[in-house]
Structure 1
Amino acid sequence: MKKLFFFFIVLLCNSASANSKDQLGSWIDSAERILRAQTSASVLSMAINKAEYQRDFTLLVLTDDRSEQQKVMVRMLGPALWRGNVTLKVDDRISFFEPRNKRTTVMSSSMLASSWMGSHFSNDDLMRETDLATHYAYQLTKSWQQDNRDYHLVELTPLPSAPVVWGKVMYRLYLEDGRVFPEQVTYYRRNDDAQPERTLTYSDVKLMDGFKVPTVMEMRISDKPDEYTRMHYQKIKFNSDLAASKFTEQAFL
């Protein structure tokens, strides 16, 4: 009888642990999709501030997560020198289109960590090739309440076979009105690093197309504290019936 009782307690503990991990994964997935929903069409500005240069871009971003074949398209609307440049992701294929010479280049996996258009965001950041909810394991490290919000700090470590760059990610999110909001994500090159390599913050929550969402994303590099890249959402439309033709290389022209 005692053995049966002990087995039942172990089973309950294992089940609770699995449910907790499922909950953390669901939170991370929801936070990552808050600016995408099933589909999204956004116009945003990108300001790059580096010691060598300052650049300002206007971007059109389309996303479609309605199937397993995830799609992302980033088209540059300005300035004139860059207008018409397109980065497209369909499933695992990522390609670039340059309108000046009408050339399409397929990106290799080695380019995922490279800077997108000289910004502090990588190709992977914009194209969402790395899926934090899928490629990482989670551990809740801290929970607290502040400003009528339930905050949680989640530690993410890569799964053994995951094709990822970061050895550890610390994800700070909060729950409000039944929704999950990202607030800060810190990226560590190695799991045992004391200092992160970079930090992404979400801020300026506003009502956009009927949903409260963070409208500003800012990436900073730890060893260059005066530099940053800031993305500011100007317009966004959620859950439109985006045509598949929007995510084809023929749409570049």
Structure 2
Amino acid sequence: MVVMMNGFRVVIIVLCAVLMSSFSAFAQKGLDVREIVDKVDKLYRSDTSRSEVEMTVVSEHWERTFTMNIWTEGMDRTFIYITGPRKDAGISTLRIGSEMWNYLPKINKVMKVPPSMMMSSWMGSDFTNDDLVKESSMIKDYNLRFITPADAETDNYYIELIPKKDIPIVWTKIILIVRKKDYIPIEQSYFDEKGRKMRIMTFSEIKKFGSRSLPSVLEMRPLNKPKKKTVIRYKDLGFDVKLKPDVFTLRNLQKKR
């Protein structure tokens, strides 16, 4: 009887060890997906930043390239100043929280962007006004999980992001592809309420800006317009820079430079 009891205890201990090991692995997996997405989320973010950017908008019949300077503070303040081409120089955009204003120098007027225009294109690009305003946190606003698509590559993580309840986000699902070796994003796909893939953003040309290595080229392609795309190139990018106190003000929109 003693032998049987001792044997029973051994079995119980082994089973407990297996269960705890399985639970630990599951918990670690959940932790890992948050860590990975958090790294991607913070890749281009800091307390403050200043960047020089080139944006090329390509359509079936024309192509336009803009140059601009961009300042940010945290997640809710952005100021964009168009420096070229000459006919567009001076156009500027200010975002504070969920509010947004544009300044048009040709008519010398500041215009607040109404809610009805938030899904409209910004400067004719494949990024909307809503894209500039909705600085959502992937960690806070989405439920995350690893997935394994049929065409998955072993060198990458594939992560599904579903908006949490009551979070006002246009896209009902995002699929994020991240390199395993350095957590650099490769691709981000956006799906509508019918489950259709509507646009894809790709990340390429990794460069070092200060102490950070990150993709310097972002390309957005709407899948319902196969001959259209917008390419953003970071020419320079500084993090945690000192900014003037009046950068994120309506007065700064009209300031001559």
TM-score by length of 1: 0.82
Q: Report the 3-state secondary structure (helix = DSSP H, G, I; strand = E; otherwise coil) of the residue aligned with 1:35.
A: coil
CA, structure 1 residues 164+189, in 2 after alignment: closer, same or farther (shift >3 Å)?
Answer: same
Q: Report the equivalent of 2:9.
A: none
Q: Report the 3-state secondary structure (helix = DSSP H, G, I; strand = E; otherwise coil) of the residue aligned with 2:87.
A: helix
Q: Report the 3-state secondary structure (helix = DSSP H, G, I; strand = E; otherwise coil) of the residue aligned with 1:214.
A: strand
Maintained 8 Å contact 2:189/2:201? yes
| Residues 1:182 and 2:188 are matched in the alignment | no
Q: Report the 3-state secondary structure (helix = DSSP H, G, I; strand = E; otherwise coil) of the residue aligned with 2:131.
A: helix
Q: Bigger CA drift: 164-173 or 126-135?
A: 126-135
Q: CA deviation at 1:166?
A: 0.6
Q: Report the equivalent of 2:178.
A: 173
Q: CA deviation at 1:26?
A: 3.8
- When Rg is computed on C-alpha atoms for both structures, the one with the higher figure is 2
Percent pairwise identity: 26
Q: CA deviation at 1:162?
A: 1.0
- Whichever residue aligns with residue 119 of structure 1, its letter is S
Query: What is the number of equivalent residue pairs in this alignment?
Result: 238
Q: How does 1:84-103 map to 2 (within 5 A)?
A: 84-103=90-109
Maintained 8 Å contact 1:157/1:191? no
The partner residue of 1:24 within 18, 33, 36 is 33
In the alignment, the residues of structure 2 paired with residue 63 and residue 175 of structure 1 have an alpha-carbon distance, to the nearest angstrom, of: 29
Q: Report the equivalent of 1:161.
A: 166
The partner residue of 1:132 within 126, 131, 138 is 138
In the alignment, the residues of structure 2 paired with residue 106 and residue 125 of structure 1 have an alpha-carbon distance, to the nearest angstrom, of: 16
In the alignment, the residues of structure 2 paired with residue 125 and residue 26 of structure 1 have an alpha-carbon distance, to the nearest angstrom, of: 24
Show CA shifts across 1:75-130 (max 9, x none). 11111111111111122222212222232222233433221111111123334434
Q: Report the 3-state secondary structure (helix = DSSP H, G, I; strand = E; otherwise coil) of the residue aligned with 1:114.
A: coil
- Whichever residue aligns with residue 34 of structure 1, its letter is L
In the alignment, the residues of structure 1 paired with residue 54 and residue 44 of structure 2 have an alpha-carbon distance, to the nearest angstrom, of: 15
In the alignment, the residues of structure 1 paired with residue 89 and residue 31 of structure 2 have an alpha-carbon distance, to the nearest angstrom, of: 42
Show CA shifts across 1:163-195 (max 9, x none). 11111110111244xx532110000112633xx
Q: CA deviation at 1:155?
A: 0.5
Q: CA deviation at 1:18?
A: 6.5
Q: Report the equivalent of 1:213.
A: 214
Maintained 8 Å contact 1:168/1:191? no
In the alignment, the residues of structure 1 paired with residue 242 and residue 198 of structure 2 have an alpha-carbon distance, to the nearest angstrom, of: 38
TM-score by length of 2: 0.81
| Residues 1:60 and 2:59 are matched in the alignment | no
Q: Report the equivalent of 1:44.
A: 53
CA, structure 1 residues 90+100, in 2 after alignment: closer, same or farther (shift >3 Å)?
Answer: same
- Whichever residue aligns with residue 108 of structure 1, its letter is P
In the alignment, the residues of structure 2 paired with residue 171 and residue 64 of structure 1 have an alpha-carbon distance, to the nearest angstrom, of: 25
Provide the alpha-carbon RMSD of the alignment.
2.8
In the alignment, the residues of structure 2 paired with residue 242 and residue 58 of structure 1 have an alpha-carbon distance, to the nearest angstrom, of: 20
Structure 2: which 5+ residue stretches go unaligned? 1-11
- Whichever residue aligns with residue 94 of structure 1, its letter is M
Q: How does 1:105-124 map to 2 (within 5 A)?
A: 105-124=111-130
Maintained 8 Å contact 1:46/1:56? yes
Q: CA deviation at 1:24?
A: 2.6
- Whichever residue aligns with residue 154 of structure 1, its letter is I
Maintained 8 Å contact 1:124/1:130? no
Structure 1: which 5+ residue stretches go unaligned? none
